[in-house]
Chain A
Amino acid sequence: MTSLAHVSTQVLVALAQVAAVALGGPLLLGLMRKVRSRLEGRAGAPIHQPLLDLRKLFLKQRLRPRESSWVFGAGPVVLVATAVAVVAVSPLATTRPPLGQSSDFFAVVFVLLLGSVLLALSALDTGTAFGGMGSSRSMTIGALCEPALLVAILAMAIPAHTSNLPALVRVGLNHPAFIASPARILALASFLVVILAESGRLPVDNPSTHLELTMIHEAMVLEYSGPDLGLIVLGESMRLVFLLGLLVNLLVPWGVADRPGALAFGVGLLALGAKVVAVGVGIAVFEVFTAKMRLFRLPELLAGGFVLALLGAVTAVVAR
């Protein structure tokens, strides 16, 4: 039964989650860059620098390559739209997100994949060699890490008898023994490897490289400038925060709001922020001590992630 009050609170929850992730994404990027800079002995830019960059980009003129079509403009828009849609219906700060019964882990993964595929297509649309190179490499990595992701979701869904995201988080909240089960630990380890691959962090892809031949994700966005580039940066940072938020909520769900109410929701947002910041800083520290892997060594890493997920799924089936 949906009443007006119920619907309006759902909309507010969705807007609050989206706003938090949209603001938190660039801030997390800035914080990760700051941590890397400090560890490398530099002072680094301030933490809110990506927000300033976004403001600068959104005020610029829109340009597009001469031979591109509508796909070029649609890429960044769909990327951000899928990220926003997925963030709005996911249990990031609360276990009762709007449209919670239709927020299935598989559906969320495929909506995110839609954004990646359209970005790759729009990179091909520019007609340059580097756009094609970036999208072909990005699609190869995607093709190798999607099976690992799907099997990891299966490994988490089998013990909980559902792949509904809020239900998975709630199961972790109510039965802590589920979290310590080997199936879930293996699945989340595989999920971490997939996050590093999907969001283009080291050792898969160096996000701050200037050399085009080593670029994977950056080569796709080489032709973008102005508001389009701003949308892409925003979309990518939102996807990173979303994936990390899912990871921490499935691993350490305490703090997520289980009861309705603004206070619980606020606590949930703060807890999400603290957990995502902790994992983000951990990734940034890990990045300082890692070098980018050779492109054709990546299948070994992603196959390792797949094997972890497969072991988790087998454990989940055997230990049922």
Chain B
Amino acid sequence: LLGGGLAVAALAVFAARRLSHRRRNAWPAVNAVEPWGSGRRVQTARMQYTATSFAEPLQRVFDDVIRPSRDLDVSHLVESRYYIERIAYRTSNDDVIERQFYRPFIAGVRWWGQRARWFQNGSVHRYLAYGFVALVIVLVVVA
């Protein structure tokens, strides 16, 4: 009942709105025109906002947390440095937690694994010595 009542009310109102909206002018009444776009006459698909640009304000707000890596590549015209031929901009978000916590942690575990190889070098005498030391410790603890 908690969300059901609200959902029913929302749906009812939604239906009413759509009906009243259509009755206002004769159907079909929606005319497709050029978008106004602040007076720009030529509108191409490249002027649209992409996912990167959509998230850019939020990324800028949390810049210290996300720490994205940015790469800007400007290539000038051969004839003159005042004219730019191409600009390539690359940005990538590396996972901070993975970089700061997981990778050092895994590196530490791997380092410890390398060190622990010394304990198992295949020599039977060393393994027998381990058993002897363990037996002595058990006797000391029990006594």
- A151 at interface by CB-CB < 8 Å: no
User: Which of A104, A107, A128 is close to B35, meaning CB atoms less than 8 Å apart?
Assistant: A128
Residues of B within 8 A of A223 (CB): 35-37
- A126 at interface by CB-CB < 8 Å: yes
Do B30 and A132 have beta carbons less than 8 Å apart?
A: no
Which segment of A33-41, A84-92, A201-209 sits at the interface? Answer: A84-92
- A64 at interface by CB-CB < 8 Å: yes
| Contact residues of A: prevailing secondary structure | helix
- A135 at interface by CB-CB < 8 Å: yes
User: Which of B16, B34, B57 is close to A137, meaning CB atoms less than 8 Å apart?
Assistant: B57
B residues 6-49 near A (Cβ < 8 Å) are 6, 9-10, 12-14, 16-18, 21, 24-25, 29-38, 40, 43, 45, 47-49
Interface 0/1 of A100-138, CB less than 8 Å to B: 011110011001000000000000101111111101110
In the complex where A58-B24, A65-B33 touch, is A107 in contact with B57 (Cβ < 8 A)? Answer: no
User: Which of A14, A128, A296 is close to B60, meaning CB atoms less than 8 Å apart?
Assistant: A296
User: Which of A61, A65, A99, A139 is close to B34, meaning CB atoms less than 8 Å apart?
Assistant: A65
Do A132 and B24 have beta carbons less than 8 Å apart?
A: no
Do B29 and A128 have beta carbons less than 8 Å apart?
A: no
Residues of A within 8 A of B36 (CB): 128, 222-223
Do A144 and B61 have beta carbons less than 8 Å apart?
A: yes
In Å, the complex CA distance between A245 and B20 comes to 27
User: Which of B35, B55, B57, B60 is close to A66, meaning CB atoms less than 8 Å apart?
Assistant: B35
Counting chain B CB atoms within 10 Å of each CB, the highest count among A64, A84, A85, A89 belongs to A85
Residues of A within 8 A of B5 (CB): 89, 99, 101-103
Rounded to whole Å, the gap between the CB of B40 and the closest CB of chain A is 8
User: Which of A64, A108, A136, A231 is close to B49, meaning CB atoms less than 8 Å apart?
Assistant: A136
Rounded to whole Å, the gap between the CB of A129 and the closest CB of chain B is 5
Q: How large is the interface on A (under 10, 10 to 19, 20 to 34, 35 or more residues)?
A: 35 or more
In the complex where A77-B17, A136-B54, A296-B61 touch, is A111 in contact with B10 (Cβ < 8 A)? Answer: yes
With CB as the reference atom, state the residue of chain A lying closest to B50: A132
A residues 211-237 near B (Cβ < 8 Å) are 212, 222-223, 227, 231
In Å, the complex CA distance between A14 and B8 comes to 14
In the complex where A62-B29, A77-B18, A132-B53 touch, is A99 in contact with B48 (Cβ < 8 A)? Answer: no
Given A80-B13, A127-B47, A227-B24, 7 more pairs with CB closer than 8 A: A65-B33, A73-B21, A102-B1, A102-B6, A127-B35, A137-B57, A139-B58
27 contacts between A and B (CB under 8 A): A62-B25, A62-B31, A63-B32, A64-B31, A66-B34, A68-B32, A77-B14, A77-B17, A77-B21, A78-B14, A80-B17, A81-B17, A84-B17, A85-B6, A85-B9, A89-B6, A99-B5, A101-B5, A127-B45, A128-B48, A131-B49, A136-B54, A136-B56, A140-B57, A223-B36, A295-B57, A296-B60
Residues in chain A within 8 A of chain B (CB atoms): 14, 58, 61-68, 73, 77-78, 80-82, 84-85, 88-89, 99, 101-104, 107-108, 111, 124, 126-133, 135-137, 139-140, 143-144, 212, 222-223, 227, 231, 295-296, 299
6 shortest interchain CB distances as A-B pairs: A132-B49, A65-B35, A102-B5, A99-B5, A85-B10, A81-B14
